[in-house]
Amino acid sequence: ETPKSKNYNDRFNALFANYSDKYTESINKNFNLNNKASSSPSKTLSPEESFKLYQEAAEQGSFIAQNNLGVYYRDGIIVEKNLDEAFKYFKLSAEKNYAPAQYNLGLLYYNNKNLSEAAKYFNLAANNGDSRALVYLGFIAYNMKNYPTAAFLYRQAAEANNPEGMNNLASLYVSGQGVPKNLSEAFALYSKAAELGLSAAMFNLGEAYNNGFGTVKDKAKALDWYKKAAAQGYKPAEDAIKKLTQ
């Protein structure tokens, strides 16, 4: 239920308590814009109307609205893509200790090759429970060839049910980097990540079945997983299907 408070943080915290980067799922949700409201009909907002509401709320200091505006500017939704504006809104929100904004700000720094600032904000987000940040901290550690730390971070993400963490930890079990080589453990992690819908893990599970690592060879199951990955646009899976069906 939407609170009757006029405070935008209160309203947006209630409306978007479980907000994630899947912002398109929330754009057209029903919002009750009337503070009298429990008996008033709700209104479905267009993206344009949502953007205006986010602007109003952001001006009132809502950290969730500020983060959402950052997503609009980062991805060019409704407005022209503007990374400077995205940075501004993510930073405003991140400074209020909002984990999704800390993650998004870290991602901007990461994509701009500023790894020290990226790590700073990923660490803040991770400490606030955002498992995606753990994955990126793992990337940074891996690229620095600190494999034990990468494995630790991926494991933390995997334990938070993050499929990318599972997939990346599995790959370390395949290569023996940072952890003892263990194909059975890799297969189990690829399986779980694939079931959670990660296309890279679907492909890797197909590879496991195709090559018989961590499991018995099964070309039919390999093809099935390749097809699932390909259906999500994962190009290596398309190539694997061609090779397997020649």
Residue 148 above 60 pLDDT?
yes
Polymer length in residues for the chain: 246
- Report the distance separating Cα 210 and Cα 246, nearest Å: 14
Reported pTM: 0.80
Which residues, 6 or more positions from 90, have their beta carbon under 8 angstroms from its beta carbon?
A: 66, 67, 70, 74, 101, 104, 105, 108
- The mean pLDDT of the chain is 85
The more confidently predicted of residues 85 and 30 is 85
The string of DSSP codes covering 123-140 is: HHHHHTT-HHHHHHHHHH
The residue-averaged pLDDT of 226-236 equals 97
Is residue 193 exposed (0-12), middle (13-18) or buried (19+ Cβ within 10 Å)? buried
- To which residue do tokens 């600032």 refer? 117
The residue-averaged pLDDT of 165-187 equals 98
Residue 246: the pLDDT is 87
pLDDT digits (tens, 9 = 90+) for 93-140: 999 999 999 999 999 999 999 999 999 999 999 999 999 999 999 999
The residue-averaged pLDDT of 146-163 equals 96
pLDDT digits (tens, 9 = 90+) for 8-60: 344 434 434 433 333 333 333 323 322 222 233 345 778 888 888 889 999 99
- Report the distance separating Cα 246 and Cα 243, nearest Å: 6
The residue-averaged pLDDT of 176-203 equals 98
Residue 9: the pLDDT is 42
Q: Which strand (E) or helix (H) includes residue 31?
A: strand 30-31
- Report the distance separating Cα 100 and Cα 40, nearest Å: 31
The string of DSSP codes covering 197-226 is: T-HHHHHHHHHHHHHTSSS---HHHHHHHH
The residue-averaged pLDDT of 217-239 equals 97
Which residues are 1's β-sheet partners? none
Residue 132: the pLDDT is 96
Which residues are 31's β-sheet partners? 43
Residue 28: the pLDDT is 31
